Each structure stands twice: as structure tokens, then as C-alpha cells.
């Protein structure tokens, strides 16, 4: 994939891979900026369920506009290969950042607050991330936190894809509904401060 062009995106670097796709850094040759491309592997190109999940990820991300959530620019296809065009976020993941030592308390508090604010936004829109972990959280060189990879995200009440109750989100819709008003703090923000 390196060196290839998808649409007007020149692939320059592989950033990672997971169950729902491979992620590459690419150059948007029209707008002269770096983006991240999440590509559905070719072996899943004809898998209707995988394609539906990929499209659902794009639709859920498109509902979220928050400074601590990696944004989406589009859902594209090139030669039958579907891919998401995502905001490129420089820096290390939280997993990388804490490999050798924990974060200093002030940095940990700042990161936890930003993560909680991102999740508050998602929950307010009825979206559960379902894969929130240090590897899916980036910290930019300026210290801004970005929550990434909504590939396993699910909207409350969306039971079309998974009927297995053992794979339901940790927080139920009933546990979080009604808590997200403009005057109340999100439960996840309170929990984030308790983790420290």
C-alpha cells in the first residue's frame, strides 16, 4: 500500500492495523495536508457485514464534532477498496507515552479530563465507543488528547449487528440516558477523576 495513490491521497506511512482496518498516513494532494486513511482490507471487500460496520463507523464519527475526538473528512472508494479519510493526529498514543513511566499527575489530570469530555460528547449523541483504551488515545506534541478508532462504536438502541448479550457495551443506554444535559456533568467525567 505504501507509495500507492487512493483517489487523490498519496499513501506515505503505515500507522497501524486492527480488526476493522489498516490505517495509513497519506498526503491529500488537493488540499496539501496530511490525513489518515483507514482502509478495509481487500479480503473483506465483499463481506456485507464488514462493509456495513465500516459505513456505520463513518456515520457515527460524522455526528461527532469535538476537539478531543479525531474527525472524519469522508468515506471514499478507489478501485473497489473502501476507506475512511480521517484527521491525521501527530504524536504518541497514551499506551506509547506510558510505556516506561506513568504520566506526571498534572498531565494525567489534563488527559483524563479531555478523555472524559470526548466521551461526554459521544454519549450525549447516543454513541458508545466500546474500545476505549490507551492505544486508541493520541496525545499531540502540544498535549491535546484525541480519542480515535470508533470502529466498534455503537449507537444506543442499534441492535442490528450484534445480538450477543455478552458483547454489549459496559454502560447501558439506561445507565447513561438522562445524564447528559447542558447543566450536569457527565458520569464519565466524575469517573475519570476517581481513576487518578
Residues assigned a catalytic role: 131
Cell (9 digits) for 172: 447501558
Q: Can you say how many angstroms the Cα of residue 141 is from the centroid of all Cα atoms in its chain?
A: 19
Burial class (CB in 10 A: 0-12, 13-18, 19+), 106: exposed
Nearest one of 70, 181, 183 to 129, comparing CA atoms: 70
CA dist 162 and 143 (Å) reads 36
Tell me the three state secondary structure of residue 170: coil
C-alpha–C-alpha distance, residues 70 and 137, integer Å: 9
Q: What is the DSSP letter of 56?
A: H
Helix axes 105-124, 187-195, angle to 10 degrees: 160
For residue 45, the tally of other CB atoms under 10 A from its CB is 14
Amino acid at each position: 500500500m505504501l507509495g500507492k495513490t487512493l483517489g487523490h491521497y498519496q499513501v506515505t506511512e503505515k500507522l497501524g492495523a486492527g480488526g476493522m482496518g489498516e490505517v495509513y498516513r497519506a498526503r491529500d494532494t488537493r488540499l496539501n495536508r496530511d490525513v489518515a486513511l483507514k482502509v478495509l482490507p481487500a479480503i473483506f471487500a465483499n463481506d456485507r457485514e464488514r462493509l456495513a460496520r465500516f459505513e456505520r463507523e463513518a456515520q457515527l464519527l460524522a455526528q461527532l464534532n469535538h476537539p478531543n475526538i479525531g474527525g472524519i473528512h469522508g468515506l471514499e472508494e478507489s478501485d473497489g477498496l473502501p476507506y475512511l479519510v480521517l484527521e491525521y493526529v501527530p504524536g504518541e498514543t497514551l499506551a506509547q507515552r506510558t510505556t516506561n513511566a506513568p504520566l506526571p499527575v498534572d498531565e494525567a489530570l489534563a488527559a483524563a479530563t479531555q478523555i472524559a469530555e470526548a466521551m461526554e460528547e459521544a454519549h450525549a449523541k447516543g454513541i458508545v465507543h466500546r474500545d476505549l483504551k490507551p492505544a486508541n488515545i493520541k496525545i499531540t506534541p502540544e498535549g491535546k488528547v484525541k480519542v480515535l478508532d470508533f470502529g466498534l462504536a455503537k449507537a444506543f438502541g442499534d441492535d442490528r449487528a450484534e445480538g450477543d448479550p455478552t458483547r454489549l457495551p459496559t454502560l447501558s443506554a439506561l445507565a447513561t440516558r438522562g445524564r447528559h444535559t447542558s447543566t450536569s456533568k457527565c458520569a464519565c467525567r466524575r469517573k475519570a477523576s476517581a481513576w487518578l
